[in-house]
Structure 1
Amino acid sequence: MAALIAHTAWKQRLDQAIDAGIIDPPPSVIALDNQCVFGKWLYSETIPTSVKQLSEYQEVRSIHAQFHKLTAEIAMLAVIGDKAK
């Protein structure tokens, strides 16, 4: 639940950053899916290897990585001032 709240807060911050044209952290950091609270947990050693081998786990990782990739792309467009996209 904390990860969901954190990502919702991120969306709100991104919306505000787009309006202001200032993105912090930069898109290159936003793209890193292992630096947010959820990503740190997702890639941590606390998750057993047997779980990491499950297709469901791999799907969650993939979706999470895609979220960060798309968010970074949106942030980059905001930085260059292309709010229409």
Structure 2
Amino acid sequence: MPHHDQNHVTHHDDSQIRDAICGHVDWLRKFAVSLETGKLDRSAHDISCDDRCDFGQWLTTLRADPNDPAMEKLDVIKALHSRFHRYAGEIAGRLEAGEKENAHARFTSPAFKRVTNSLVLNLNDWRQDFKPLMV
């Protein structure tokens, strides 16, 4: 994993965001299996925390910087990422409570799809800000 200075992000490296998109999509597939089997690999509390995944840990190292255009969307990305984890944690909590059908219904609901799609779309958009400008 490339090293990132705490206050500066290299625009030529969008790998953290690419990995975040892939990681969250892969995790959603595993989460769907967990909902079918009724067995989670982590607690609902852990799932609801937005700083337990690799991307969330990386986000905590970033700071808004008025001189860095890529950081303009940082607060939006953090909020969307947090919302995704909070919602997923609520779904996992239903499963932990033995409410398998309720958990599955929430997972397949338009509301969770909006949360998921919004995060992925905004990550894809943010990723463009990390690519070098064509002169």
Report whether the alignment pairs 1:65 with 2:82: yes
Q: Deviations over 1:23-53 (max 9, x none)?
A: 1211111111011011011111xx34416xx
Instruction: Point out where structure 2 has 5 or more consecutive residues left out of the alignment.
Output: 1-17, 103-135
Give how far 1:5 is off: 0.8
In the aligned structure 1, how far is the partner of 2:39 from the partner of 2:100? 12
Q: What's the % identity of the aligned pairs? A: 25
Query: Which 4+ stretches in 1 moved above 4 angstroms?
Result: none
Question: CA RMSD for the aligned pairs?
Answer: 1.6
Picking from 80, 85, 101, the partner of 1:84 is: 101
Aligned pairs, how many?
A: 81
The answer for the alignment partner of 1:22 in structure 2 is 39
Instruction: Report the TM-score when normalising by structure 1.
Output: 0.83
Larger RCO, structures 1/2 (Cα 8 Å, 6+ apart): 1
> Contact 2:59 / 2:78 at 8 angstroms: preserved in 1?
yes
In the aligned structure 1, how far is the partner of 2:63 from the partner of 2:84? 24
The answer for the alignment partner of 2:10 in structure 1 is none
The answer for the alignment partner of 2:108 in structure 1 is none
Higher gyration radius (CA): 2
In the aligned structure 2, how far is the partner of 1:22 from the partner of 1:83? 10
In the aligned structure 1, how far is the partner of 2:99 from the partner of 2:56? 28
Instruction: Report the TM-score when normalising by structure 2.
Output: 0.55
In the aligned structure 2, how far is the partner of 1:49 from the partner of 1:59? 11
Q: AA paired with 1:39?
A: G
Give how far 1:83 is off: 3.0
